[in-house]
Amino acid sequence: MSELLGSSPGSRVLRSDALSGKVVLVTGAGSGIGRAIALDAARAGASLVLAGRREEPLLATRDEAALVGADCLVVTADIREADQVTSMVDAALDRFGAVDVLVNNAGGQFMAPAEDITPKGWRAVHRLAVDGSWMVTREVATRSMIPRLSGVIFFIGFSPRRGIPQMVHATSARAALENLASGLALEWSQYGIRTLCVNPGTIDTEGLQQQYDESARREWAQGVPLGRLGTEWDVSALVTFLATPAASFITGTQIVVDGGGDAWGTGRPVPPLVEAPGENA
């Protein structure tokens, strides 16, 4: 496990008991950023609820977390379905009695020109990223965090925050999560609940490597002031720290982890203007 977590800044900096006694529920915990967050939380002493639609990758994350002694519960659930969300939280509370930290990591998107995004495609992205995250958040908050007057809730946004070409459906959904984190802080701080949105830039996960070739990833890296794409461990280290008492005065805000990408912008030339028919005739 030291090899798996050794690439994470959090595993080298945070104490092994930084989240001791805490229960962390991570949606989309089978791969990428969700897996990394779960493993970093395990390394910091947390118990885990690993949620996702496919059992096999969740079991793999569980087996890795178990190597550092983490108590893990695997729950297969589609967070777009209210009854499955309720069953997921039932299982978490039956096993651990509470959920102290919720990481709304599950999401999905595709690249397409705005004019080609159908209502069905638009709804598919928003239903998972926004509606699903809200159902999980409300269920966990009302059944565990509000009654216990404590908790930390994370949403995962996007950077650059000003928009991404061919991703307007996904970026608008993630912008909604930013606003949700701020709005909930105004209402739920009275219950001792912190709500945050973490906005990663382009993260070089295994999924990204499978979908895009090296030249595309190199082009994206050229738009990052720090000169590289992020790793899932860059994100997980930040989330794990923010979940600890050391960050107890941070709420209602968004935090960007993108190597300076949001400050720089897209870092690409603007597309050429489309000429009207016969304009140069």
In this structure, what token pair is assigned to residue 13? 């900096």
Q: What is the pLDDT of residues 104-134, one digit of tens each?
A: 999 887 878 888 889 999 899 999 999 999 9
Q: Where are the alpha helices (DSSP H) in the chain?
A: 2-5, 9-13, 32-43, 55-66, 82-96, 119-126, 133-140, 146-148, 168-188, 206-211, 214-221, 232-243, 261-264
All residues at 6 or more sequence positions from 164 whose CB lies less than 8 Å from its CB, including other chains: 158, 170, 171, 266
pTM for the predicted model, two decimal places: 0.92
pLDDT confidence of residue 220:
78
pLDDT confidence of residue 66:
95
Among the listed residues 233, 257, 242, the one whose alpha carbon sits nearest the alpha carbon of residue 6: 233
More confident residue, 164 or 250: 250
Query: Which domains, from first to last, does the chain contain?
Result: 2-197+230-256 (3.40.50.720)
Kindly report the three-state secondary structure assignment for every residue of 107-122: CCCCCCCHHHCCHHHH
Give 275's pLDDT tier (boundaries 50, 70, 90): confident
For the chain, the average pLDDT equals 91
Q: What is the pLDDT of residues 141-172, one digit of tens each?
A: 999 999 999 999 999 999 888 888 878 898 89
Q: What is the pLDDT of residues 190-215, one digit of tens each?
A: 999 999 999 998 888 777 777 777 88
Q: What is the pLDDT of residues 8-67, one digit of tens each?
A: 777 678 899 999 999 999 999 999 999 999 999 999 999 999 999 999 999 999 999 999
CB-side neighbour CA atoms (13 Å) of 255:
17
C-alpha 134/C-alpha 115 separation (Å) is 27
